[in-house]
Amino acid sequence: MKLAERRIEIEIHKTVKKPERGYFEWLRDSNEDISGVKWVPSSVGNVLMVEPVIRDPYGKPLQNLYVAGIDSIDQGITDSVVGEKGSKFCALIKKRTMGNMGDKYVCMYIDRPAVAKEAYQVA
């Protein structure tokens, strides 16, 4: 029943924002160290985002607002006997809320990359 109600909210009432599909592009400094990340919208991206990170007036993400859950993998496609048919890496980000709104999933990454390290970098 809950799935049917959710589908009605999404498709008919349009009360649920449709996730944007894309990927993260790492920003690097002159030493090739990661200095930041940029969101790139893309129809072939493996990340779904409902809303961007909420930041304080100084541009930093609000502390303790988000919690992540990960279902990890230990092998990528190239290291696995079953290849693409093996389990996928999945990371979900939930935004905590107060009152009767309930917590809200705001970002999801699911993939089985060639090398497991790629999944952890994205997560």
In the chain, how many domains are there? 1
Is 6 inside any structural domain? Answer: no
In a domain, 8, yes or no: no
Confidence of residue 83 (pLDDT cuts 50, 70, 90): low
In a domain, 10, yes or no: no
For residue 6, give Cα distances in angstroms to 12, 63, 94, 110, 121.
10, 29, 17, 21, 32
Position 114 in a domain:
yes
102 falls within a domain: yes
Residue 107 lies in a domain: yes
Task: Supply the range of the domain harboring residue 103.
Answer: 19-122
Q: Between vectors from CA 30 to CA 37 and to CA 62, what angle results, nearest 5°?
A: 30
pLDDT tens, position by position, 94-122? 888 766 667 788 888 887 777 777 877 77
For the cut 60, the answer to whether the pLDDT of residue 82 exceeds it is: no
Q: What's this model's pTM, rounded to 2 decimal places?
A: 0.68
